Amino acid sequence: MDAFTDLEAKPAQRREGEHGGSGSISFRRMMDESQFASGLDFVDFTIVPPGSTIGKHFHHGSEELYFVVDGAPLINVNGRERRVGPGSLSVVRSGEWHSLTNDTLSEVSILVVQARVSEPNGR
């Protein structure tokens, strides 16, 4: 288990219509659950091109963070929508939903971290 990883060492994967969204995204799985002793599921570096979206989806038994590296997407968490920029962080907790829209002319880059929730009420 390596303590370091490099973006260029990870192959990019492309997905169409992520969580029912429109357009495509690409992501690199930087680390997966096999590299953590904790409840972390994965760390992804994701690119959302102009006009693409990550559709509304619920989290049950997991929490997910979106850290905006570049760009200015609209992020909606449980009906609270906000335009965010580089350095912004959003979190969706177990039992909640979120989506991301890139309605700008620039790519959006986000770091996505997902962790399993072990408590029965999801918190």
Whole-angstrom distance, CA of residue 19 vs CA of residue 54: 6
CA distances to 23, 58, 67, 86, 97 from 20, in Å: 10, 12, 21, 25, 13
Q: To the nearest 10°, the Cα dihedral for 50, 67, 13, 92?
A: -100
* The total number of structural domains that make up the chain: 1
Q: Do the domain assignments include residue 91?
A: yes
pTM above 0.75, yes or no: yes
Q: Do the domain assignments include residue 5?
A: no
CATH number at 20 reads 2.60.120.10
Q: Do the domain assignments include residue 100?
A: yes
pLDDT of 98? 98
Residue 12 phi, psi dihedral angles, 5° rounding:
-75, 140
Whole-angstrom distance, CA of residue 12 vs CA of residue 30: 10
pLDDT of 120? 56
Exposed e or buried b for every residue in 39-51, given b needs 16+ CB within 10 A? eebbbbbbbbeee
Q: Do the domain assignments include residue 37?
A: yes
Q: Do the domain assignments include residue 1?
A: no
Tens of pLDDT, residue by residue, the chain (123 residues): 678 988 988 999 999 999 999 999 999 999 999 999 999 999 999 999 999 999 999 999 999 999 999 999 999 999 999 999 999 999 999 999 999 999 999 999 999 999 999 765 545
Q: Do the domain assignments include residue 56?
A: yes
Confirm if 26 and 13 have CB atoms less than 8 A apart: yes
Confirm if 64 and 113 have CB atoms less than 8 A apart: yes
